[in-house]
Amino acid sequence: MARMALIADRQRERAADSLRRHFLCGRLTADEFADRVDLALRARTDRELRVALDDLPRPWDPVELAPVARAAGRVAQRVALFCVLASVWVVASVLALVAFLVVLAADASTTGELAVLVVWLGITYAVWRTWHRGATRKPV
């Protein structure tokens, strides 16, 4: 005999969310959806909860997860790009600051100070453009 386990509110909410997705995909009518959500929210055991989700595709169906996986991949690429660009910008900024301090210590003309500032602004602009160019690309 299968053992029945008590369930938590989070499991009920997850089941209701799953039913909502099935309803939005057209797998359930409004009446079925209302009945099943009511069943899921009143469930006390995992067996009662399974009744509410009976004969529906599992949420880990590869066809349904493909768009989510692609979106997660795009987010991971953006995070990696951000980390690389932030690192480049921080290193360039520190080097520009050191160069600026060297120019100040050498009592150079203001052209040296301006050159360091222009180089730093150029690097900052290049990093900013690279970040925005990656955001406007069309997903494959």
pLDDT above 90 for 95: yes
Q: Name residue 45's beta-bridge partners.
A: 6
- Residue 1 — pLDDT band, cuts 50, 70, 90? very low
Tokens of 70: 């692609």
- Residue 62 — pLDDT band, cuts 50, 70, 90? confident
HSE, side-chain direction, 13 A CA sphere, residue 127: 19
- Residue 138 — pLDDT band, cuts 50, 70, 90? low
Tokens of 59: 């949420």
Check residue 57 and give its pLDDT. 77
- Residue 103 — pLDDT band, cuts 50, 70, 90? confident
Q: Name residue 6's beta-bridge partners.
A: 45
Average pLDDT over every residue of 74-80? 93
DSSP string, the chain: -PPP-B--HHHHHHHHHHHHHHHHTTSS-HHHHHHHHHHHHH--BHHHHHHHHTTS--TT-HHHHHHHHHHHHHHHHHHHHHHHHHHHHHHHHHHHHHHHHHHHHTT--HHHHHHHHHHHHHHHHHHHHHHHHHHHSPP-
Average pLDDT over every residue of 26-37? 92
Rounded to two decimals, what is the model's pTM?
0.55
CB of 19 within 8 A of CB of 33?
Answer: yes
